[in-house]
Every structure is written in structure tokens, then in C-alpha cells.
Amino acid sequence: MAKLKCHVIIVAYPAQGHINPLLQFAKRLASKGLKATLATTPYTINSIQASPAVGIEPISDGFDEGGFNQASSVEAYLESFKTTGSRTLTELILKFNATGFPISCIVYDSLLTWVLDVATRLRVYSALFLTNSASVCSMYWHFDKGVLDFPVKKETLPVSFPGLPPLGFFDLPSFLAFPTNHSAYLDAVFDGFHCLDETDWVFCNSFEDLEIELVKAMNGLWPVVMVGPMVPSAYLDQQIDGDTAYGASLWETETDQCLKWLDTKPSQSVIYVSFGSMANISAKQVEEMAWGLKASNRPFLWVIKESENKLPVDFLDSVGEIGLVVSWCNQLEVLTHQAIRCFVSHCGWNSTLEALSVGVPMVCVTQWSDQPTNAKFVEDVWKVGVRGKKDEEGIITREELEKCLKEVMGGERNREIKTNAYKWRDAAKKAVSMGGSSDTNINQFVSKLLIGKE
Ligand code: UDX
């Protein structure tokens, strides 16, 4: 095994759904004997717990006091990060090079493709890290190659991609279905695919068995290497020292309160509800969720930021002890509590992988980005949950939620869904354990790094 011969710097976009998997990748590399440093912005860095295994260093996005919220637009933010980030990352690497810990490789988030130029200038290896599923990334890849018309025309549906099931309009990532709404993010995503030939590795936070049809269909067409799931090893029955949590939380958590409350509930009885860190759920959708949860007549734990502005008046009083609402928690600690029965999720890729990795069935209430496609897979490919159908205003009504909850927690499909959830949990563990596909892929990367760049 490597003896700290190589130093890898991992550059993360400063959002919860990006820091979590990249910090986790840093820990995995450290567990293989490499020196690993995570670089992200000063505004988020204090939210990351120091660990003996991974160093944390700041690089600037140009908004050191307030981060993304200080920028006038997504475009302005990404442009500022590119300019200031290139300079400060270069300085950081030169500092390491001068102090006896030279950098061998830069791993970079797929939203930060300018890092490739820094790596090329400094003549170090580079590795792109995809934070979406390989299936979603392959769709972007096909659109970028011009293989399919963009934007998608409704009359050409369903869309067929190699290795994927036929996809209807509302199964597509919102960036492809409604491109004008998110053009800056879409440009950043496409930029990632312009780098594929120039970068030394392309990693994806997924595992081969999970997307096996896609892996087979794309074999030889693109260079993606599966290394996930990037979930703390303790949840995958592994023992990497101290790796019991992601170690980053951009908000104060109320986990202890959640766990105490869950302790009072029967085994496999509680619905856990969370929409991740970025989705902005409409007040109407919150209201429908609230009354749907109440009508389900089962205990629920709901993570909702800004709940006071959106929850219906008197809702909390009306549910009493049956419901707990918090603004943030350690999701994996909650998901793995024995009282949890099902996860109502927006289907962000990390949340989806976490549910799959710990075997919790899902009800999908999607919002944007890759979430509709992840939900399609949850229902039709992995068969570990059901999707809420939206009405003509794009809302999942209380009746629809109640119906989905019944199906997952007690309906005809409940047994099949539960069996599949356990099957994928076991497959995830296998992928990262010694000799598993993701573990082998990471070992090959480490071995190549040790040989060094010409
Ligand atoms: C977004 C996109 O939705 C996602 O698909 C993309 O790949 C990354 O950016 P986000 O909306 O935050 O991310 O969702 P998700 O990918 O699920 O990540 C959320 C992370 O926050 C998860 O790792 C989850 O464990 C964590 N979390 C969430 C908490 O720790 N506590 C909570 O209360 C809720």
C-alpha cells in the first residue's frame, strides 16, 4: 500500500450535495495510504470537521464573507469562482509543492471544470468527479455530442439512450426538459463533458451493479469509472478509522432530538421526509405534504428549512406527538434508525444513493435537476419505491402522497420493494468492500498515481 508518497487535492463545489461525496472520496483515498486534502471556499470551510485523515484548505470563489448568496446570479458566481478559484488553487498547490507535500493529482467537481487548466499548467494528473448518476451523465454526454436534439421536442418522445429505459418528458433531468430555466448550470454541466478526453480519469459516484446496463452499453464510448457509493464506511459495514459521518454540515443539526424522538417509536413505523439542501419547495406543495402526512396516520419526521413560513397554521398542534419537524439533521443517522420505514425524498443523487445503500424504500417527490430521472430509476429499474404523480400545476396532492405511502408501507408492492431495497443495500456494500468493483477501481487509480506522471 502507498506510504503517503502521493498527495491528492480534491476541489469541491461549496454545496452540501457536492462536499459530502468529495470529502468522502478524500477519506477513501486517505484510507489507501495517500495524503488527501479537500479544498473548498472559506465561507463553507468552517462547517467541515477537521479529521486526522484529510486536510481542509480554503480556495476563494470571490465571495469569502457570504458565498453564493452574495453573487448577483448563478452565472456571476460561477465566473467569479473560475477567476478567483484558479488563482487561489494555483497558490495553494505551489505552497504544498514548496513545503514537501507536492501535489500529484487534482480531483475536481464536475461543476468546476476550470480546474483542469490549473492541472495542465502545473503538469499534474487530473480527475473529474461526477456527482450525478452515470445514467444522467450519459444523457448529458449524448446531448452534448449532438446525438439528440436539444432542447427535447415532445413529439420525439420517448427518448432512447443506450443502456437506459425509454424516457418520457417528465423523466428527463429538468436541465434538458426546461433548459432555459437553468442555463448557467447546464453550461457548467456540458463543460464537464468537454473535458473527458483531456482529463486523466473520470470518476462517478455510483457503482457498476447499480447501473450495469448503462456500463455495458457505454463500454468503450466514454471513460467513466465507478467508485461509489460515497457513503461513510460505517454505514457500509466497513471500518475505516473514524469514518462514521460525512463530517460536513452547512447547517446546525437537530440530530439528537430526532434520535430521541425516534427511540420512542415502534420499529419500522416512521416516515422520514427531506428535500435535501437546495430545493425550494413551494408553499402549496408543503401544505399538501403536511395534510397528506397527517392523513397517513403514521409517525413522521420532516426536515424542512424555513418551516415557520410555509407550514399550515396549527398543523404542528394538530399532529401532536405523531410528527416531528426539524430544520436539519444528520440524514444517515436518522435513515439508519430502526424506527424508520420509508423515505419521502426529492431524489437528489446523494439522498437516493444513501437510501439504496442502507436499504430504505422511497416515495419520490421530485423538484428539479437530475431528480426526475433518479426517481424513474427508483420506481422502474431498481424497484425500491414509487413516484408521486404531479397534477397539472406540478403539485403532488395530499391524496396522491397518501396513496404512495400506502403502497410503499403496506400495499401489494410493499414486499417486493422491501426485498429490492435490501438487495441494493447488499450490492452497495459489496462494491466498496475489498475486491468489490468500486474498491478495485480506486486501487487501480492509487497504483497508477504511485507510478507518477512523466
Ligand atoms: C443537489 C442535487 O439535488 C443532487 O441531485 C446533485 O447530485 C447534487 O446537488 P441536494 O439537493 O442537496 O443536492 O440533494 P442530495 O444530493 O440528496 O444531497 C443532500 C445531502 O445532504 C445528502 O448527502 C444528505 O445526507 C444531506 N442531508 C440532507 C443532511 O445531512 N441532512 C438533512 O437534513 C438533509
Cα of 20 vs centre of ligand 1, distance in Å, is 8
Q: Which of 244-248, 335-339, 350-354 has the lowest mean pLDDT?
A: 244-248
Beta-bridge mates of residue 159: 167
Between CA 19 and CA 247 the distance in angstroms is: 10
CB of 397 within 8 A of CB of 287?
A: no
User: What helix, strand, coil percent values describe the chain, rounded to 5?
Assistant: 50, 15, 40
Question: How much is the pTM?
Answer: 0.96
pLDDT of 58 strictly over 70: yes
pLDDT, residue 3, reads: 46
Report how far ligand 1's centroid is from the alpha carbon of 330 (Å): 11
State the DSSP string of 140-160: HHHHHTTSS-SSPPGGGPSB-
Q: What string of DSSP letters covers 227-282?
A: ----S-GGGGT---TT-SS--B-SS---HHHHHHHHHTS-TT-EEEEE-TTT----
What residue type is assigned to position 90 of the chain?
T
Distance 447 CA to ligand 1 centre (A): 31
Rounded Cα distance, 210 and 428, in Å:
8
Average pLDDT of the residues in 115-142: 96
- 438 has pLDDT over 80: yes
Active site residue 237: no
Give residues (CB < 6 A) around ligand 1: 15-18, 20, 131-132, 274, 276-279, 303, 328-332, 348-351, 354, 369-371
Which of 61, 109, 191, 200 is the catalytic position? Answer: 109
Grid cell 406540478 — which residue?
394
ipTM score assigned to the predicted complex: 0.97
**pLDDT interval class at 307 (50, 70, 90):** low
State yes or no: pLDDT of 45 exceeds 60.
yes
The CA dihedral of 267, 230, 302, 334, to the nearest 10 degrees, is 30
Question: Residue 454: is its pLDDT beyond 70?
Answer: no
Percent of the chain with pLDDT over 90: 76
Q: pLDDT tens digits for 134-146?
A: 999 999 999 888 8
Residue type, 372: P
Distance, C-alpha 127 to centroid of its chain: 18
- Please tell me the total number of residues recorded for the chain in this structure: 454
Q: Which residues contact 448 (CB under 8 A, 6 or more apart)?
A: none
Here the cell at position 52 is 486526522
For the stretch 77-113, pLDDT in tens is 999 999 999 999 999 999 999 998 999 999 999 999 9
User: What is the spatial distance between Cα 415 and Cα 77, in angstroms, rounded to a whole number?
Assistant: 46
Residue whose CA is closest, atom 12 of ligand 1? Answer: 277
pLDDT digits (tens, 9 = 90+) for 241-297: 778 888 899 999 999 999 999 999 999 999 999 998 887 889 999 999 999 999 999
For the chain, percent of residues with pLDDT exceeding 70: 97
